[in-house]
Structure formats: structure tokens, C-alpha cells
Amino acid sequence: MIDLEDLKFFQKGRNLDEILSEFGNISGTEILKKFLEEGFIKKEGEYFKLSDSGKKKLKKIMPKERKVDKKLKIFLSYSSLDYELAKEIKSFLESFGLNVFLAHTSIEPSLNWVEEIHKNLNDCDIFIPLLTEAFKDSNWTDQESGIAYDKNKKIFPISISITPYGFIGKFQALRFDNTQKMELLRLMEKLKIIKRLMKDFPTKIRQSFFSSLEKTFTFRMGTTKFRFLKEIEPFTKEEINKIIKESAQNNQIYEANEVKPYLTELIEKYKDKIEPTLKERIKQIIENDRAREMLGGKSEGGFPILFGDAKQKLKQLEGYGGEKIEEMREELKKEIKVEEKKPSLVKGAKDGL
């Protein structure tokens, strides 16, 4: 996935020292390698600049950035040593329809970049600092925190390895476990951020979330979004029809774990609010899947119907291939490992009594 801010950095020709100073040695090298391989930048002498392909890509994605101006704006403050985690959180928040500014924490930012940081601090609705030991040691994060505090911004600290201090010491932090390895568990950890934001900005978060449903690109994100849906009922007529419509046309939602049972429940609960054509469409899809399940066939999305426990489902995937099938297979393997650990955990708990 191309990060808009990373690509914009190359609008002006940059030499290697500038790139490594901006992103750090490791991230800078990886970004440079990726953009060169994908043809988005080219080298002219000692400078790297946007290629024609890069300019077209930037032109194509920049309007999307402008469209989100009315959405909740978040300023994500972090140490350059935590760049990958910051990008991961930024990507997640944007998948829920939020507008996130990710400040590149350079050793010595250029004057233009400092002005850009000030502009976004002034415009943001929420200031989110990622609190790690590296954050505390940074030359710039404390300054960003001070500016946000002075401008009376809503400050929402995320505590990863340290607690709030200094200007932001009085704000309650959300504990974030960055040690989770399973993707779904990491998504659930990041979902805690959305839930926390809902307390202060319920209307804006809700609007952003429903607008983001159509941009659900993985099964795990489909599961994550439907878990969130369960916590924000009841739904308006417009909202329930949006849920049904996107579920019917996006198999990354419909085929995601936990979605079908909840969809069936919603159809019954909101039957008087769902548009007749949409209701018939989703009911037909569900009925077709049930029929295929009885025959051991495939779902509406072309994927095998799975039933039973995780081991049985994994067995049923034998003979199937493709990226999505591999994703399903890996998820089932992780579920099996978790289930296999439960007896020993229960025994350990009993032994300790």
C-alpha cells in the first residue's frame, strides 16, 4: 500500500542523506527500495525524484486526501523509531474513515516541514501521542505535545511502554498491547482506539465508520468491523440498509468470520426498515449458501462452505488454492493452536487453586 505522505516527500528531488534523515536508516532504505522497484521514483545524479508514473499515482490519490477534510482529523505524534507502528495505526484508523496526519519526525526537519506540522496541529481535532521510551527521547514529540496542549486540542494518549508525562501528564491514556502477534488480536487492540474515540466524538466516528464499510478489503477487517457494529446498535434506517448493501456486494464482509449469523439476526430485527429489494437480495444469498453447505459446495463469493470446528474446516480446505484461501487456512491454524493451549491453561489454573 502506498503512503501518500511518503510519496509526496519526493515531489522535490531528495538525496540519500535527506531521505535517511527524514525516515530513519531502516525505514528510509525500505521506502526507497520499494518506490524504485515500483517505478514511482527515479534517480537523477545523486537525487531521487518522482517519475512520470509516480506523478500520476500521486495525482490519482491526492483527491481522496482532500475529500476527507470534513472528517475527524487526527494528528499522530510518535518517535521516528516507532514509525512502522505509527503507520500501522494510521492505516487502521483510515480504514474506519478517519483523516490521520502522520508527522515524519526528522532529526532536523526542513522549515517547510515544520510549517506543515504547525498547520496540521492547528487543524486537527484530536492529538494522539504514541507513548514509548523512544517518544520521550525524541527532540520533537514533546514540542508537538506542548503545542497541542497550548491550543487546547483534545488529547488522547496511547500508552505502549510509558505513561503520560509533562504537558499531557493529566490525561488518561489507553493501554495498548503491541506484543500481540495474531493479526485479529492486533486488530482488536487497535479497535480499542476507535471505541475510546466514540466516547467524545460519537456522531463523527459513527458517520466515518459507515462511510468506510465499502472499503473493507480483508476478511479479518470484515470481522473487526462487524464486532464494532454489535457495540453501536441500534441502527437508523439509513445505517441498516448500508450494512445490508455492503454485505451483499462485498465478500470480504459477507464471508468474514462471525458475519453471517449476525446478518441473519439483523435481517429479522430490522425487517421493517430494510429496503425490500436489498432484503430479498441478502436473504437469497444466505439461502443459496445454506443449500450449497448441504451439498458441500461453494459460497456466493466462490469460497468453500466450511462447517464444524477449526480442524474440520482446515480439512475441508484441502485442494483449494489462492491468496484468500491461504489467509483462511492460516487463520484456522492459529485458532487450532489457541484451542490446543486451553486445556493446559485450565489445568494450570486449577493446580494453582
CA distances from residue 286 to 170, 222, 262, 267, 307 in whole angstroms, order as listed: 51, 17, 12, 11, 15
Mean pLDDT over the full length of the chain: 84
Give the pLDDT band (50/70/90) at residue 307: low
Given this model, what pLDDT does residue 106 score? 40
> How many whole angstroms separate alpha carbon 308 and alpha carbon 67?
44
Task: Please indicate whether residue 87 or residue 28 has the higher confidence score (pLDDT).
Answer: 87
Collapse the DSSP code of 61 into the 3-class scheme (helix H, G, I; strand E, B; otherwise coil) and give the result: helix
Asked whether the domain spanning 71-215 has the same topology as the one spanning 1-67, the reply is no
Sheet strand arrangement including 14-15: 14-15, 47-50, 41-44
Cell of 159: 500508552
- Averaged pLDDT for residues 180-208: 94
Question: Could you write out the DSSP letters of every residue in 194-245?
Answer: HHHHHHH-HHHHHHHHHHHGGG--SHHHHHHHHHHHHTS----HHHHHHHHH
For residue 134, give every residue at least 6 positions away whose Cβ sits within 8 Å of its Cβ, in sequence order, or none: 79, 80, 81, 82
pLDDT tens, 101-114? Answer: 987 644 345 556 77
User: At the topology level of CATH, where does 1-67 sit?
Assistant: Arc Repressor Mutant, subunit A (1.10.10)
Q: Cβ(4)–Cβ(65) under 8 Å?
A: yes
CB burial of residue 223 (10 Å; 0-12, 13-18, 19+)? buried
Give yes or no for a contact between 120 and 126, defined as CB atoms under 8 angstroms apart.
no
Whole-Å CA distances, 13 to 45, 53, 121, 331: 10, 15, 26, 43
Which pLDDT score is estimated for 304?
A: 66
Q: Enter the CATH code of domain 71-215.
A: 3.40.50.10140
Report residue 315's pLDDT band, with 50, 70 and 90 as the boundaries.
confident
- Cα separation, 108 vs 343, whole angstroms: 54
Among the ranges 51-65, 102-116, 221-235, 278-292, which has the highest mean pLDDT value? 221-235
Q: Are strands 47-50 and 99-102 parallel, antiparallel or unpaired?
A: unpaired
- The whole-angstrom separation of Cα 349 and Cα 274 is 47
- C-alpha 150/C-alpha 167 separation (Å) is 9
- Lowest mean per-residue pLDDT among 20-29, 57-66, 71-80, 177-186: 57-66
Strands 73-77 and 126-131, sheet pairing: parallel
Domain definitions of the chain by residue range: 1-67, 71-215
- DSSP class of residue 233? -
d(CA 281, CA 297): 20
Report the candidate in 338, 317, 339 with the shortest Cα–Cα distance to residue 328: 317
pLDDT attached to residue 2: 57
Q: Which amino acid is at 10?
A: F
Q: Please check the confidence at residue 211 and state whether its pLDDT lies above 70.
A: yes
Q: pLDDT per residue over 139-180, tens digit each?
A: 889 999 999 999 999 999 999 999 999 989 999 999 999 998
What three-state secondary structure class fits 305? coil
Average pLDDT over residues 110-127: 83
Res. 13 pLDDT band, cuts 50 70 90: confident
Confidence tier at 349 by pLDDT (50, 70, 90) = very low
Measure the CA–CA gap between 176 and 128, rounded to whole angstroms: 13
Is 182 a residue whose pLDDT tops 50?
Answer: yes
